[in-house]
Every structure is written in structure tokens, then in C-alpha cells.
């Protein structure tokens, strides 16, 4: 390629790269990175910090991966639309396959949504405290994030639906993280109808809740629902999520996604996982029973435990330091998530593990509370 002449590239001494660290866009340089929960590699941990399923996935998943890895299948590109998954999930949800877009985890779907709807200088609305990744995704676009604080009972003011110049997308996790609380479906529909932009309902945890909002996608053209296989299907390591939206919306989002954002193995595995509906029911029931026990035990230990509709419990202690509890647990090989939300406060988010893991956690925390 011929070297660029000065006529091709206008002089811009501020941005010229003359060695050292290449300059990224100023809004990326200023961006606070999203920091996921700790993922220790190696060592024996009781891991109750990132809302993974404590049970192994359906055995059909490993079979599907083995089969997809045989012969020449991995030599070929994957199906760009993950059709086998879309067909199966459409059947389960009672929609058509063209209402579904698959992604490399629901984080990929959220990225596609923010890239599609929110441009530089525009804004995204989210509740606070909730999933901080939304803020980072807005930042990557050079967009602003308009955060509306939850009330102390984890309800949201109807002001969440208010118009605002440049507002292009609103996102609400339901159930919310870190609280595990849900907003009523009727309330969400009213908000969607009033908002001047699409409303994404992030249902990463909906399989653990009493209701979900997929039918709102039909009821209101502004509603988009996102789902994850990371939590309820025990497939956090696989990376598979999807959106449910009107076909016109899916067509636009498909232009923004990477051509092959899901690979052959993950498509086969995800399709097998959602086909095994018995596994989902059985595992969910075990997690809900353990969640109930965890909530009661935390309350007995003096915590304020927020009743949860997800696979984790948010709790605060009126006297003890949450950070100190987190650190003492970590020293004993038990990881929970200490979360500190400036201007809101901090607390501990405990993922529902197996009964044995939760018993070990409860015994450790009871002893820690005695000595703190
Ligand atoms: C509210 C919420 N949405 C989305 C995600 C991302 O899930 P995935 O693993 O599908 O990318 C998470 C993960 O913790 C989450 O808490």
C-alpha cells in the first residue's frame, strides 16, 4: 500500500502517533472499565460471587458439543443466525424464530443494542444500583448515562419514563441485580408506553422469578427482552444469550452484530440445553429451595436479607462492616460479592450455591460475625 500523503490525512498534530502508547479516543481513555466479579483460576473456592449455577449443565450439552466437534464441522463457519437455537427457543416462548437474535452471552446482546440505538452525545437511561455494564456500554459510544435511583424499597419512580433530549434507550434488569427484586409487569408496560425510546428488559435472571415479560414484546413495540443461558442453564462458560424483539428490530440489530458472534459448539450446546426442559425445572426448584433457606438463615444471623426472585440474595448488616465480612470469608476460601454503590451504600450479594456450599458459607459467616 502506498504511504498516506499529507493530502490523504489532514495534519492533526494532537492525534499523530509518534511512538509510545497509541492514543485511543479521549472518551475511551476517560472511561472507567467495567470490573467483573473475581474469577480465580485454580485453587479450591466456594464461589458465591458471580451468580453462576452451582450444578453442572444438562448432560445433553456435552453430547451435543462432542457431536458438533466431530468430522469437518469445526472446519466450516458456524450458522450466522444460530437457526437451530432460534427455532427451539421460538417454540418454547410462543414466538416466531425471526423474533430472536442470538449472541455471545447476553452481554454481547446488550452491546449490540447500545451500539444500535445510542449514538455519540445521546443518552441511555438505567436504574441505580443495577448492572453497571450498561453505563460502560454507553461510555464506549461516547454517550451519556442517565441513572435513576431506586427508592429504598427497590421500586422506581414513574419519572423513569420521562422524556429527555437525546434519550435513545432505557434498560431495566428484571429481576434486578444486586437486589434480586422485580418490578411489576403492568408497571413496566406503562413505562414502556410512555418512554420516548425502546425499553430493554434484561431478564438474565427471569427463570428464577415468578413472572417474565416476554409477552410485553407483543403488547408494546418498544419492548425488547434479553435473556442469558449463563445462570439458569448453568452455561456461564459457554457464552450464550439472546434477545426477543419484533422482527423489524431484529433485522436492524443483525446488521450490527459480528457475522459469526456464536460458534458452532455454543450453538449446538445451547440448543441441547434449552431442549432439556426437565433439567431446567429440576435445577431451578433446587436453587429456589436453597434460596429460601439462605434468606431465612441470613435473617437469623442479623442481616437484612432482601427477598429475592433471582439466584442470589442481597443483604446488609446493620452493625458489621460488609467489606470486613467479605475479606474474612475470602481468607477462608469463600467468595461472595461485596458491592459498593457510591451515594447508595454497600452490601453483600450472595449467589445461591448447593446446599453444602451454603451450609459452609453460613457456618463461616456466623463465626466471622462473632469475632468482628
Ligand atoms: C443483569 C445482568 N444482565 C446480563 C448479565 C450478563 O450475562 P451473560 O453471562 O449472558 O453475558 C449479567 C451477568 O452477571 C447480569 O447480572
User: For the segment 79-95, what is each residue's pLDDT rounded down to a tens digit?
Assistant: 999 999 999 999 999 99
The reply to whether CATH 3.10.20.30 applies to domain 46-55+278-371 is: no
Residue pLDDT, tens place only, 242-295: 999 999 999 999 999 999 999 999 999 999 999 999 999 999 999 999 999 999
CATH 3.90.1150.10 occupies which residues in the chain?
Answer: 46-55+278-371
Question: First vs last Cα of the chain: how many Å apart?
Answer: 67
Q: What confidence score (pLDDT) does residue 15 get?
A: 60
Distance 50 CA to ligand 1 centre (A): 9
Whether 65 has a pLDDT exceeding 60, the answer reads yes
Percent share of the chain, pLDDT over 70:
96
The CATH architecture one would assign to domain 59-275 is 3-Layer(aba) Sandwich (3.40)
Q: How do beta strands 223-228 and 144-149 pair?
A: unpaired
CB burial of 57-90 (b: ≥16 within 10 Å; e: otherwise) equals: bbeebeebbeebeeeeeeeeebbebbebbbebbb
Mutation to probe ligand 1, out of 230, 337, 351 (largest number of atoms < 8 A from CB) = 230
CATH 3.40.640.10 occupies which residues in the chain?
Answer: 59-275
Distance 163 CA to ligand 1 centre (A): 27
C-alpha cell at position 198: 425502546
Residue pLDDT, tens place only, 169-217: 999 999 999 999 999 999 999 999 999 999 999 999 999 999 999 999 9
- Mean pLDDT (the chain) is 95
Distance 319 CA to ligand 1 centre (A): 31
Residue pLDDT, tens place only, 25-62: 998 999 999 988 899 998 899 999 999 999 999 999 99
- In 10 A of CB 34, how many CB atoms? 15
Amino acid at each position: 500500500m502506498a504511504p498516506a500523503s499529507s493530502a490523504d490525512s489532514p495534519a492533526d498534530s494532537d492525534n499523530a502517533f509518534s511512538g509510545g502508547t497509541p492514543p485511543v479516543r479521549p472518551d475511551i481513555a476517560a472511561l472507567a472499565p467495567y470490573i467483573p466479579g473475581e474469577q480465580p483460576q485454580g485453587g479450591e473456592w466456594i464461589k458465591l460471587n458471580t451468580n453462576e449455577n452451582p450444578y453442572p449443565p444438562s448432560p445433553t450439552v456435552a453430547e451435543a458439543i462432542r457431536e458438533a466437534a466431530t468430522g469437518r464441522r469445526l472446519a466450516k463457519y458456524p450458522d450466522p443466525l444460530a437457526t437451530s437455537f432460534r427455532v427451539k427457543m421460538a417454540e418454547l416462548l410462543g414466538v416466531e424464530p425471526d423474533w430472536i437474535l442470538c449472541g455471545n452471552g447476553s452481554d454481547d446482546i446488550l452491546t449490540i443494542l447500545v451500539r444500535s440505538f445510542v449514538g455519540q452525545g445521546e443518552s441511555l437511561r438505567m436504574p441505580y444500583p443495577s448492572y453497571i455494564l450498561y453505563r460502560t456500554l454507553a461510555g464506549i459510544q461516547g454517550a451519556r448515562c442517565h441513572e435513576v435511583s431506586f427508592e429504598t424499597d427497590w421500586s422506581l419512580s414513574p419519572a423513569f419514563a420521562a422524556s429527555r433530549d437525546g434519550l435513545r434507550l432505557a434498560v431495566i434488569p428484571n429481576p434486578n441485580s444486586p437486589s434480586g427484586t422485580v418490578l411489576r409487569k403492568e408497571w413496566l408496560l406503562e413505562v414502556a408506553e410512555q418512554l420516548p425510546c425502546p425499553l430493554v428488559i434484561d431478564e438474565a435472571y427471569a427463570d428464577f422469578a415468578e413472572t417474565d415479560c416476554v409477552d410485553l414484546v407483543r403488547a408494546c413495540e418498544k419492548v425488547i427482552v434479553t435473556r442469558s443461558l449463563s445462570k439458569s442453564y448453568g452455561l456461564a462458560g459457554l457464552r450464550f444469550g439472546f434477545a426477543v424483539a419484533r422482527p423489524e428490530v431484529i433485522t436492524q440489530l443483525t446488521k450490527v452484530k459480528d457475522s459469526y458472534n456464536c460458534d458452532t459448539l455454543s450453538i449446538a450446546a445451547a440448543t441441547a440445553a434449552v431442549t432439556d426442559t426437565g433439567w431446567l425445572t429440576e435445577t431451578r426448584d433446587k436453587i429456589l429451595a436453597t434460596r429460601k433457606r439462605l434468606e431465612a438463615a441470613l435473617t437469623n444471623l442479623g442481616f437484612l436479607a432482601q427477598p429475592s426472585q433471582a439466584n442470589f440474595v442481597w443483604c446488609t448488616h446493620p452493625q458489621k462492616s460488609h467489606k470486613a465480612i467479605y475479606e474474612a470469608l475470602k481468607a477462608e476460601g469463600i467468595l461472595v460479592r461485596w458491592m459498593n454503590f457510591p451515594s447508595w451504600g454497600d452490601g453483600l450479594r450472595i449467589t445461591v450455591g448447593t446446599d453444602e456450599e451454603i451450609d459452609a458459607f453460613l457456618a463461616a459467616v456466623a463465626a466471622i460475625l462473632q469475632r468482628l
